[in-house]
Structure formats: C-alpha cells, structure tokens
Chain A
Amino acid sequence: MTTTHTVSGPTAVATSSLPNAWRIEVHRLRAGDDPEGGHALAAFREAGWKGLAEVRTARGFLLPAECTRAVVESAVREILADPVLDRAQVYAPGEAPLAIDGVRRMLVARKSGVMDPVAQTIARALLRSKIWPGHGEPHVTTFRVFQLRGEAQALDTKLMRELGSKLVGNETIEDVLVASEALPYALPKPSPRHGVVHVKLRGASDETLLTTSREGSLSLNLVEMKAVQAHYDALQRDPTIAELETIAQTWSEHCKHKTFTSKVEFEGRTIDNLLKQTIKAATVELNKPWCVSVFHDNAGIIEFDAGFDVCMKVETHNHPSAIDPYGGAGTGVGGVIRDILGVGLGAKPIANTDAFFVGPLDLPQAELPKGCMHPRRILNGVVAGVRDYGNRMGIPTIAGGVWSHPDYVGNPLVYAGTVGIMPHWAATKSVQPGDKIVVVGGRTGRDGIHGATFSSVELTETSEIESSAAVQIGDAITEKRVLDLIVRARDARLYRGITDCGAGGLSSAVGEMGAECGAEVHLETVPLKYPGLSPEEIWISEAQERMVLAVPDESLSSLLDACKLEDVEATVIGDFTNSGRLVLRWHGEVQADLDLHFLHEGTPKPVRKARFDAPRHTDPGVPAAKDQRATLLAMLASTDIASKEWIVRQYDHEVQGQSVLKPMTGVHRDAPSDASVIKPLAQSIKGLAIGCGASPHYGRLDPGAMAETVIDEALRNVVAVGGDPDRTAILDNFSWGNCNHEDRMGSLVLASEGCYRAAIAYGTPFISGKDSLNNEFKVGERTIAIPPTLLISALSIVPDVTKVVASDWVCAGSTLYVVGETKQHFGGSHYYLLNKLEGGSVPRPDLQQAPQLMRALHRAIQAGSVRSCHDLSEGGLAVAAAESAFGGCLGATLSLQRVPHQLASDSKADRDTTLLYSESPTRFLVEVAPEHCAAFEQHLQGFPCSAVGSTRAEGTLEFVGTSGATLSSIDIEDLRRAHQSGYRG
C-alpha cells in the first residue's frame, strides 16, 4: 500500500533554527516495510493515545553543508536509500522539509556528543569509498522521523511531546522535537580550559569535605574523605582534581567491593573480611587442581581440554539499565565481553548469559511510582539491548531468565555473563617497566563520566535527568573489531598484559595494570570523539569498547600493523615505569602524581554493624488447591515460569555453530531447557553446560537457605543435561539493598555464609563474582530496597556431548522416576505467591545427601540410562511434568503415592498439594527406557528414587493423588497454551 501525500509547501519553521547541513530523509514506500511505524503506533495506543490513525517512520541523516549536491546524491544512491524499498528526500542547508496535510512530525535525535554508531559507519564508508572527497571523515549525524496521521485534536503538540519522549525517545540521550525542525548538528561545547586545579582539602571541616564529595559526584564518605585529607596533609599540599577523581574511582564500591571486604560485627561475632571468609574461603579450602585463575583477574579460569581453558564472568548493570534500558543492557553485555577479552592475555567469547529482574509486567500505569519506567518498557529495552549487542558480536546468548517482584519496579536488575575459551598458556599476564601503554578500540568522549561512582549510590526519581552523563552508548561493531584483533595479536604474542576499560575508564585500567610498578600517561595523546575534553574527563570517561595493552617496544610496530588491518584505532598514551607512582601529564604539565600504594591500599576499612530480623509470619500450612487444573495453568502463566521463547528467539543462540542443547527444546521447540550445552572445540568431544539459579522470593525470609538452594538449583540445572558436578565451577552475583543499613548487611552475611556451606558441600568452587550493593529507589520519602537477590551461574564440563539429555519426554512407554525427596518447602514458593500466602519454610537442600545424589544421577546419564531429565524448581513437580509433557507432545499418568517424600502427617498441609507444588531442591523428573530401568535404579541405589508413572502417546497429563483418586487430567495443549499466555514482548 502506498500512501499518497498532499504536499502543502515547506514546514513553517524559522530558517535560522535549521541545522547548517544537508538533510536527507528516507521513507519506506510501503507501510509493510516500516515495522518501526507499526511498533510506535501500537505503543502510543497502548498508552491510551486515542484518535491516531497511522504512524510512519523515516530515517534521517545530516551531512556537512560543504558537500556538493552531486556528493549528497551519490551518498543517497550508494548508501542511504534502497532503490527497491525507499524514497529519499534531500534538502539543501537552510531548506525546510516539506509539510504534508494532516501529518504531524516528531523528530528524535541523539543529543550532541552522544555516541551514534550508525553515523560513524556512514562517515567511515563515505570516506573509504571516496564518495566524500575530503581527507578526514565527514561529520554525520542521524535522526528518526515519526509522521503521525489522525484526528486533528489527537495531534496535540503537548501530548506528542509527552508521549514521544516517553515511548519512542529517551530524553536522557535524545532530543525529541515536536513543531520544530531544529536538529542538533554542532559538536559538543568544549569544557572550560584550565591549568592544574587543586581541590582545597587541607583544613576543611567535615561538612566541607562531604560537600566536596557530593558536588564532585565522588561518592566518597566522610571517613574516606578524611583519609584523603590526612594523606595530603602529610604531603603538605592539596590534591589536584585529577588525583581526587582517580582516588574516587579506585575506591568506589563498584571497583573496590568495600562493603563485601569490610569488617562486620554480626550478632556478637566479628567477621574480619566477609568476602575472604566465605566465598573465597570455599575456593581456597576446596583447592581444586583444575582451577587455573580465580578472583584476581577479570574472570575466573578453569581447565577444559586439549590444552585449552575456559573462563566466565558475570556482571551487573543495574543503574544504567534503569535509566536507559536499551543502552544500559547493551553496554552491560559489551562490558562483560571485554572482561573475557581482558582475562589473562585474552579469551575468545563463546557464550553469553543474561538474567533480568523486573517489576510486575502487568502493573497498572497508575501504580507506577513517579520517575520509573514501566517494567514492560524496561524488559523490552533490556532484551533489545542484549539482542543487538550480543548478536552483533557473534556470541550466542544461551542461558538466563526473567524474574519478577514488586520491589524491582524502581531498580531493575540486569545481569550479563560471558564465557570464553583460551589456550592454557594465555591464562597469565604481566606488565614490565618500559612497556608502552597502548589504548585500542573506541575513542574517548564525555560519555559515562562518573559511572563507577554513580552505580554506588541509590537511585531517585530525578536520577533519569541528573545522571545522563553516566549513561554509555555501545557500539558493538567497534568491539567486534577489537575482539578480532585481540585473539590474533594474542596468538602472535604482540603484547604482555591487557585489561579492559570498564568502570572508571582509563583511571582504573591503567591504575590496575601499573599497580605493581608505576605508570606515566600523556592525556593529550588519547584519541577523542570530539575536541574539548578536560584532562580529568579523558582520564575517567567510561566511553565503551576500549582495551589497554602493555606492549614491549620490540612488538609495538607489529601490533600497530595488526590494528591497522582490523581497522582498530591504537594509540601509545604513555609508559609503564618503575617509579611506584601514577603520573598524568597534559601537554607536559603534571596533572597528577599519585603514590600507587596509597591509591590501592589506602582505603580505610570501616567496621559495619549487621543484624538479621527474620520476618514474623505464622505458618500458613499448605491449604489444598481448590482446583488443581486452574492452579497449574495459572502457575504456568506466571512471569517467572511462563515461556521466555519471545526473548530466546531474538537472540542468535546458535552462532559459532557449537550448539548441542538449545535454550528451548521439544517437538515445537517451546519447552525450556534446564541449561544449554555447547561444544567449543572441534578436536574434543567434551562440552560445556551453562546454567543459572536465582530465587528472589526466598531471600527476605531466609537468606542462608536461599543461597544454598540457589547453588543447588544452578548445579541441578547443569547436572540435569549431563554436566559433571565434580567439574563444575560457580559464580556469585549479589544484588542487595543499601548495606549501610544493618538489616541489609545482616542478610548479606547470612547469604554469604550459605554460599560457603553449599560450595564446600558440593565441592564446587567459586571462581569469580561481583556485587552491587546499593539497589534502592527513593520515591518521595519512601525508600524501596530490592529483595536480596543472588544469581548463581554454573559452568560445568560435559564429559561427552553425545550423552547429553534434554528436558522434554522423547518416547511413549518410558518409565518416569522422581529422584530426590519432597519436603514441605513452601516459603517464597509459587504456590504461596499464587495464593497470596506468606511465611513457611524456605527450600533448603540436604547438604549431606544432595552432592552424592547429583553424582549418582550424573553417572546414570553418562552410562546412557536416561532418555530425558528435568529438574524440579519453581512450581515443583507439577510444573516440571507439564513442561516435559508439552515439550515432548506426550502424555503421562503420575502417581503421587509413589513420590519419595519426608512429610510429617500434618493437618495443616494437604499432602497431594504438597507433593505437587513444594519447591524442595535436589529433585529431578527422569525418563528411562524400560530396558534401562534396572541399570538406572542400580545407579540411584541408596537415594530417594522411585518410578511414578510412564509416558504415553495420548496427550493428557494426569496426576493421581495419594488416595488413588485422579486429581487432574489436563490436555497438554492446554498446558502449552497456558505456558505461552504470559507477556510476549
């Protein structure tokens, strides 16, 4: 369908407000080729905008005014417009775009200085193809045009501005123009030039110190400011602004984990260093010979096979994602990938994971707290961010999850993980005095200033506006170039050390690499996106896609050649020295001269008080489900359990061609896998199972039990598909509320101690972790803390990928076993959530039995005795059986009478309901061929394990209660429909 346009002359705008540039607008000929327009219309309508008939979009570009018309037309023909699909309109500088009767325009453009990867690509292509005859790249910007048609009163300027900036633009990074054609085109204004600026700390009062910290966005507390003051008192001078910024970045919670490593007084005990005495202690005590590098580098590394190691890192990117879900999640992915590129001498990323924790997806708009984005918009944004970054990087996103809780509404959590593979010799790095400091990859701009310190404070309703500078925009293709460079330069051994520019930018990267020797940096040599950055802005900018290398003189020219081939910008910015000092110069002038020992070891160690107040609930027991069918269908449709296929399909989870078990399985590929499996080396039959566990609903009730159960969940997910529990490493990611509050700190202590107990019991070392400890959101006077959230990721070696099993039933006539014991574990369960009940016992594994049971099950899978296996988790046996049934398009009758359990006779607990929905850990539903039953039972001898039914071709799932009566009999197509009835993007 072609829309006809009645053109009524140029838009009435002041010519003086038009950007001094050629303007090109590219429209789709057919509405069907313009999905963005359809998306925008749907979003506007969903927000209650009435009277809109159509939204069409166009892509816009601004090119330098000095271009000739021929150059512009060539750019349009060769790059900007498609000859089959598009119609382009070209306006000379000073020419206003045409107005169309009945159509209102809305323009969305990146604010000046905000990263615009598309514009960069065009500028580069114009130069390389010589369409642009100049020497350097031309200045190009892009914008989006929304043309709205509808009833005249619906197209109200105020409404357009309001809904436009809420739904299609993001005012943190974009200008939304209505009734204006004044697109930004100029470069950002330069920062005021200055010489060396000292910040007066000597003699400052406590109050002044705090003001200095707050006004400089330093996020340093009084004790820390006083430590800085004392250090400079002794030196008899004041710190320079660059020195103070460096200290603030290095000492930030984000970089230093001050809380987790602090001394804690908890219920009469003193814990000297929480992290060291729990998480790290477990790894030290387990002392596994296959742990290659743990905790001290950018990721944990374990042995794999055939001379290769594998590594993993999981990061949080919570605060940036709250403000800009798309950019925040994308740069979260980009950041964790750089951790893998920067571990040892660099690893090749082979898989990504993601986990999101959001507010209720069905939250009515009226209940949305001021300053928050709707959880749906957040989820859509973060999914798109992970998709666009991960897919462009060519790394399959293969595992993750979505969890929902009302208290994530103002502070969503976004976790991103990356797995990498590297030759064993590349697991260690060094830095030698005399090595060149080389920065490779993206240019430095004013983006992401104070990200590290920003992530260490709580969000408020105005964070969105105040923190725009902290937002970073990713450019995946620049990072892909860096990836291509690193793996090749590594194998050619062209550098000795490497790390990524993450939080704190160059200040953290160079500061860390030079910690043992010293470094001198010439800040004016750092390549910039635009001129006018001050030296300290350059130093702490968190512009993305940058890595820092330590390059010996003799390989510098080879490295620069390799960078040139890959089109990666590489610049020598200084030298590593043996001075023990970090020296920053700006055109020769010393901007900072810091003692590295003070920088890294001078952080004052506070003592924190902690307590835990267990919530008081009376035990509600387990009331019988009134309608078993309705209960199971409702559970399948709840956010945590419902199908995530709409997310999984948007991720390229098969790139690199190593897929053995995909995130979705089954005849219609719509049943969830417990974990994904990849086979990363052509020369090895071994695989990697990657899974995760999280249960935020357990955390407030019993943080210790939650930690043990979440570790059990992560392990049973990888064991269920064929991972070896004795060759499994785990990673911890804590997201907590503000741990200056004693109760938050107390639950952190309990969860950490749970982690220690479980890691020791299962023999699974922690190899890496990260914490984000300020996840609170302030609305007016009320502060909402997130529920304590622990994400455990498991990286497990699969001895032989041909033995892998999936979670869906594969044959009729198989015997179904329930392995593991059911107890009355309903605290935080989905059955309680559904029935709005509180209290109860949080699931907790039997740490004596569970590790042995997992080993026995693993041996049975390795022996080929198992056809399929699904772990029991959220929603218990009922949900697991439903997923396996509709996945395999097979039915079954399961007898609850035969389910192994340890239930007291309790009048308050309905036995059938308990057996169906209890969330006791360490349980599996296993499908076994009749001819393998004897062997399977042999493997599981001594463990709770019994046959509870068998599969059949006829597609109904039937549960028979302990009394022998049928509780429910549900068509598997109804189960499938319920599972797919949740939010789908």
Chain B
Amino acid sequence: MAHAKRSLVLRTAGINCDAETVRALERAGSQVELVHLHSLLDQPALLDGASLVVIPGGFSYGDDVSSGRIFGLELRHGLLQHLTRFVDGGGHVLGVCNGFQVLVESGLFEREPGAASVPARSIALTNNLSARFECRWVHLKGEACAATWIEPGVTFPVPMAHGEGRFVALDEATLQRLEARGQIALRYVRADGSPATDTHDNPNGSSGAIAGICDPTGRVFGLMPHPERNLDAWNHPEWTRLRARGARRTSGEGQRFWDRLVAVLPVPV
C-alpha cells in the first residue's frame, strides 16, 4: 500500500476551527492527525513522516495582547529548528485565519530558505479598518506565486471571520520584495474578479488587498479567509437562489483549495 499523505492539524487553547479543517483534509484524501501543540512540543518527532502541518483558525490563547502572538512565541521558542528542517525537507505548513496570524508571528514567511533562524519581522496582521470583527463572505483571486498549486487568475467565494486581518508591511520595500519573490498568493477581489477598491471587497483594508501569502519556497502558506467553511453545496450564502436558478453544484468552492494542496504534498518515503 502506498504511503498516505499525512497531515498534522495543531490545536491548543483557543484554536476552534480544527474539526472542519480535519474534515476538509480528509475529503481531499489526506490522512489526518489532530495533535495538541503541547504534544508536538514534547515530541517534535511527530513531524517525521508528515507532509503537512496545519494551524487552523481560532483565538489561540484568547488572542490576548495580539492575535497569534503567544502561539507564535511558542513556535519560535520550542519548534523553530524542527519546523525549518521540516520545510527545508519538502514539508508544507499552512495557517488559516488565526493560523496565518500565528505564522506571521513565527517569522517563517520571512526566513531565507535553508536559514536556521528568522529575521526581525517586517510584516503584520492588525485590526481591520472597520475596527470591528466581521463575519461575511468575500472573493479571493489566485496570483502567480511560489505556491504552484494556487491557480493564477481564478476567483472563488469564501467566508471570512476576523477582527485583525489587515495585512501591513513595514515599508514599500518589504512589499516589493514579497512581490518579487512570488510571495503574494491571494488577493481580495470583487465577485467578477476585478480589483477590490473599497472595504466592501477588501474587507479589512489590507495593503495591496493581500489575503494570503507564502514563503519563497511556496511551502509555508497562510490566508485569512476560511476555505474549510465552504466544502458543501449548501454553505454558500446564496445557495437557495443558485438552486432555484438551476446551478449544478455538488460541493462548495472551498474544497478545491484543499484538494489542490493535498495533491502537491510530497508522499513520505
């Protein structure tokens, strides 16, 4: 029997999108283990044989002080060497919503491939321009980027739910560097795929309408919205209208995100 692609979904106090994340990965064909962060800190060898580590959404440690701050600290202090070795060995790391905030805090997006440490942080996710937590549906469009499984130019609907998702960079040079290295992966757009011009479509006011980024290898990936909440045909906010108008939808548009990710995961030897 061929080795299954194994994913570790990390949870800790306040992570709360673990169940739907596990469901999405299983439906995409991955074998999934839900692991407490403390177990992984105690036994980093759990990473051996895994192809993907996912940090789901939630409010890790209450998002106290700042979203993802404490979880990010725990990654830097307890797992950095193991995670960098994992990524450099071909493993993937994904953060969704709070998981994205955690990965930004961890510094992994800004690490030079192969480097053992992370540089001082020059990107951040902070309060939405509306200064409110918002739960609603938005549209994302794929960019040509280092993450090859993202489909450039393809627009899809997805729910978001966050209060601190505004992507900011320290300066213009940081943004240009991200762009040049293929690190901009997903942008908020209008329903028709045209650029978002206001907070209706760029819901948090992110710089460059950036919704998701990756590291220069494309294997560390993060995004604010929740594709795991759009797996079924009845998740879409207008599914009853689409049904009445004869649309044939057998699953939600978010499933494809997970299917394509799992498809590119390396098969462990």
Question: Do A and B come from the same complex?
Answer: yes
Docked Cα-Cα span, A653 to B73, in Å, equals 29
Docked Cα-Cα span, A806 to B59, in Å, equals 31
Interface 0/1 of B233-248, CB less than 8 Å to A: 1110110110011000
In contact, B235 and A667 (Cβ under 8 angstroms):
no
Known: A83-B120, A118-B64, A656-B20. 6 other contacts (CB 8 A): A33-B127, A121-B61, A476-B62, A565-B38, A664-B237, A810-B244
| B261 contacts chain A at the CB level, 8 A cutoff | no
Given known pairs A649-B132, A649-B134, the reply for A929 and B17 (CB within 8 Å) is no
Among the 9-residue stretches A122-130, A635-643, A815-823, the one with 4 or more Cβ atoms under 8 Å from chain B is: A122-130
Given known pairs A79-B69, A121-B64, A657-B20, the reply for A85 and B126 (CB within 8 Å) is yes
In contact, B234 and A804 (Cβ under 8 angstroms):
yes
| B4 contacts chain A at the CB level, 8 A cutoff | no
Given known pairs A129-B77, A477-B62, A868-B240, the reply for A84 and B121 (CB within 8 Å) is yes
Q: In the complex, what residues of A have CB within 8 A of residue B161's CB?
A: 391, 652, 654-655
Interface 0/1 of B57-81, CB less than 8 Å to A: 1110111111001100110110000
Docked Cα-Cα span, A532 to B10, in Å, equals 39
A102 to chain B, nearest CB (A): 25
In contact, A805 and B135 (Cβ under 8 angstroms):
no
In contact, B168 and A394 (Cβ under 8 angstroms):
no
Among the 9-residue stretches B85-93, B148-156, B177-185, B223-231, the one with 4 or more Cβ atoms under 8 Å from chain A is: B223-231
| B19 contacts chain A at the CB level, 8 A cutoff | yes
| A100 contacts chain B at the CB level, 8 A cutoff | no
In contact, A480 and B14 (Cβ under 8 angstroms):
yes
Given known pairs A121-B62, A392-B59, A394-B16, the reply for A484 and B131 (CB within 8 Å) is no
The contact of A656 among B19, B59, B126, B127, by CB within 8 Å, is: B19
Docked Cα-Cα span, A651 to B135, in Å, equals 7
In chain B, positions 205-228 with a C-beta closer than 8 Å to chain A are: 226, 228
In contact, B131 and A387 (Cβ under 8 angstroms):
no
In contact, B240 and A657 (Cβ under 8 angstroms):
no
In contact, A117 and B19 (Cβ under 8 angstroms):
no
Q: In the complex, what residues of B have CB within 8 A of residue A888's CB?
A: 241
The contact of A82 among B16, B39, B124, by CB within 8 Å, is: B124
Given known pairs A39-B131, A567-B13, the reply for A79 and B73 (CB within 8 Å) is yes
Given known pairs A392-B59, A888-B241, the reply for A657 and B122 (CB within 8 Å) is no
Docked Cα-Cα span, A341 to B126, in Å, equals 33
In contact, A657 and B131 (Cβ under 8 angstroms):
no
In contact, B13 and A477 (Cβ under 8 angstroms):
yes
Q: In the complex, what residues of B have CB within 8 A of residue A122's CB?
A: 64-65
Interface 0/1 of A547-578, CB less than 8 Å to B: 00000000000000000011100000000000
| A811 contacts chain B at the CB level, 8 A cutoff | yes
In contact, B73 and A78 (Cβ under 8 angstroms):
yes
Q: In the complex, what residues of A have CB within 8 A of residue B11's CB?
A: 484
| A682 contacts chain B at the CB level, 8 A cutoff | yes
Q: Which residues of A does B touch, CB under 8 Å?
A: 32-33, 35, 38-39, 59, 78-80, 82-85, 117-118, 121-122, 125, 128-130, 387, 391-394, 475-477, 480-481, 484, 565-567, 648-662, 664-665, 667, 669, 679, 682, 801-802, 804-806, 808, 810-811, 867-868, 888, 929
Q: In the complex, what residues of A have CB within 8 A of residue B59's CB?
A: 391-392, 394, 476-477, 480
Given known pairs A121-B62, A810-B240, the reply for A655 and B73 (CB within 8 Å) is no
In contact, B61 and A85 (Cβ under 8 angstroms):
no
Docked Cα-Cα span, A535 to B256, in Å, equals 59
| B137 contacts chain A at the CB level, 8 A cutoff | yes
Docked Cα-Cα span, A404 to B148, in Å, equals 54
A369 to chain B, nearest CB (A): 30
In contact, B13 and A650 (Cβ under 8 angstroms):
no
A801 to chain B, nearest CB (A): 6
In contact, B39 and A660 (Cβ under 8 angstroms):
no
Q: In the complex, what residues of A have CB within 8 A of residue B240's CB?
A: 661, 665, 804-806, 810, 867-868
Q: In the complex, what residues of B have CB within 8 A of residue A658's CB?
A: 20
Docked Cα-Cα span, A484 to B241, in Å, equals 37
In contact, A669 and B237 (Cβ under 8 angstroms):
yes
B57, B65, B77 interface centre (most CB from chain A within 10 Å):
B65
A32, A84, A391, A811 interface centre (most CB from chain B within 10 Å):
A84
In contact, A85 and B124 (Cβ under 8 angstroms):
yes
- Interface size of B by CB at 8 A reads 61
Which residue of chain B has its CB nearest to the CB of A59? B65
Docked Cα-Cα span, A82 to B120, in Å, equals 11
Docked Cα-Cα span, A653 to B120, in Å, equals 36
Which residue of chain B has its CB nearest to the CB of A39? B131
Q: In the complex, what residues of A have CB within 8 A of residue B137's CB?
A: 669
B228 to chain A, nearest CB (A): 6
Q: In the complex, what residues of A have CB within 8 A of residue B70's CB?
A: 79, 121, 125
A637 to chain B, nearest CB (A): 22
| B36 contacts chain A at the CB level, 8 A cutoff | yes
Q: In the complex, what residues of B have CB within 8 A of residue A391's CB?
A: 59, 133, 161
In contact, A82 and B134 (Cβ under 8 angstroms):
no
Q: In the complex, what residues of A have CB within 8 A of residue B120's CB?
A: 83
In contact, A125 and B135 (Cβ under 8 angstroms):
no
Docked Cα-Cα span, A501 to B186, in Å, equals 46
| B23 contacts chain A at the CB level, 8 A cutoff | yes
Q: In the complex, what residues of B have CB within 8 A of residue A811's CB?
A: 241, 244-245
Given known pairs A387-B133, A480-B13, the reply for A929 and B244 (CB within 8 Å) is yes
Interface 0/1 of B117-145, CB less than 8 Å to A: 00011111011010111111100000000
Docked Cα-Cα span, A125 to B73, in Å, equals 8
A121, A650, A651, A802 interface centre (most CB from chain B within 10 Å):
A121
The contact of B245 among A85, A656, A659, A810, by CB within 8 Å, is: A810
Q: In the complex, what residues of A have CB within 8 A of residue B2's CB?
A: none
A457 to chain B, nearest CB (A): 33
B23 to chain A, nearest CB (A): 6
| B170 contacts chain A at the CB level, 8 A cutoff | yes
Between A and B, 16 residue pairs with Cβ closer than 8 Å are A83-B121, A84-B123, A84-B169, A118-B64, A121-B70, A125-B74, A391-B161, A567-B38, A655-B161, A656-B19, A657-B19, A657-B20, A657-B23, A665-B237, A669-B136, A804-B240
In contact, B36 and A657 (Cβ under 8 angstroms):
no
Given known pairs A650-B134, A657-B235, A682-B23, the reply for A566 and B126 (CB within 8 Å) is no
Q: In the complex, what residues of A have CB within 8 A of residue B229's CB?
A: 654-655, 657, 659
| B99 contacts chain A at the CB level, 8 A cutoff | no
In contact, A657 and B64 (Cβ under 8 angstroms):
no
Q: In the complex, what residues of A have CB within 8 A of residue B238's CB?
A: 667
Docked Cα-Cα span, A361 to B19, in Å, equals 40
| B95 contacts chain A at the CB level, 8 A cutoff | no
A679 to chain B, nearest CB (A): 7
Docked Cα-Cα span, A652 to B133, in Å, equals 8
Which residue of chain B has its CB nearest to the CB of A659? B235
Which residue of chain A has its CB nearest to the CB of B18? A394
A32, A80, A85, A477 interface centre (most CB from chain B within 10 Å):
A477
B135 to chain A, nearest CB (A): 5
In contact, B135 and A84 (Cβ under 8 angstroms):
no
| B159 contacts chain A at the CB level, 8 A cutoff | yes
In contact, A117 and B123 (Cβ under 8 angstroms):
no
Which residue of chain A has its CB nearest to the CB of B232? A679
Q: In the complex, what residues of B have CB within 8 A of residue A59's CB?
A: 65
Q: In the complex, what residues of A have CB within 8 A of residue B168's CB?
A: 33, 84-85
Given known pairs A129-B74, A477-B62, A657-B20, the reply for A33 and B244 (CB within 8 Å) is no
Docked Cα-Cα span, A669 to B131, in Å, equals 21
In contact, A667 and B135 (Cβ under 8 angstroms):
no
Which residue of chain A has its CB nearest to the CB of B27? A682
Q: In the complex, what residues of B have CB within 8 A of residue A657's CB?
A: 17, 19-20, 23, 226, 228-229, 231, 235
Q: In the complex, what residues of A have CB within 8 A of residue B241's CB?
A: 667, 806, 808, 810-811, 888
In contact, A125 and B170 (Cβ under 8 angstroms):
no
Q: In the complex, what residues of B have CB within 8 A of residue A650's CB?
A: 132-135
In contact, A84 and B131 (Cβ under 8 angstroms):
no
Which residue of chain A has its CB nearest to the CB of B170? A84
Docked Cα-Cα span, A392 to B229, in Å, equals 17
Docked Cα-Cα span, A665 to B120, in Å, equals 44
B238 to chain A, nearest CB (A): 7
